[in-house]
Amino acid sequence: MKIMLDTNIVIDILEKREPFFANSYLVLLNALENGDLCMMPVSAVTDIAYILRKSGDVKDKLLKLSYMISLTDVTADDFNEAVKSDMPDFEDALLAACAKRNKADCLVTRNAKDFAKSPVRAITPKQFLKDW
């Protein structure tokens, strides 16, 4: 299975943000134990680095991230699809387009309602743990 992770899920894991950490971490742990591929666009790494800068050890955390999650490119086709999308948030539309191109089975996010028009099914960590 291929799983696209939203930035908020990755930050929840790296920063151990409560009350979100446990479910987000279990998504990643279950996926890795099952041999599933967890992905995120490389373009999200800059956002993550910016948020992590306050807690220090940015490079160490990013290195750990690279061992667990496959970074995917963002292409001009992803950009064009996102611009044409009916999704109101461009960043979400770009993530959804990237998920579609990479043939993700689902997109895991804390904000599934923001992905109502996504071409890839968006689910919360809790839904993922229940259904997958």
Least confident of 11-20, 39-48, 57-66, 113-122: 57-66
Instruction: Assess contact for 4 and 108: CB atoms under 8 A.
Output: yes
Position 109 scores a pLDDT of 98
Q: % helix / strand / coil in the chain, to the nearest 5?
A: 60, 15, 30
List, for residues 61-119, the tens digit of each pLDDT value: 888 888 889 999 999 999 999 999 999 999 999 999 999 999 999 999 999 999 999 99
DSSP letters for 11-41: HHHHHT-TTTHHHHHHHHHHHHHTTPEEEEE
Max CA distance (Å), the chain: 38
**In the predicted model, is pLDDT for residue 56 greater than 80?**
no
Domain ranges of the chain: 2-131
Position 117 scores a pLDDT of 97
What is the band of 13 on the pLDDT scale with cuts at 50, 70, 90?
very high
Task: At 103, list the tokens.
Answer: 């043939």
State the residue for tokens 């041999």: 35
**What superfamily does domain 2-131 belong to in CATH?**
5'-nuclease (3.40.50.1010)
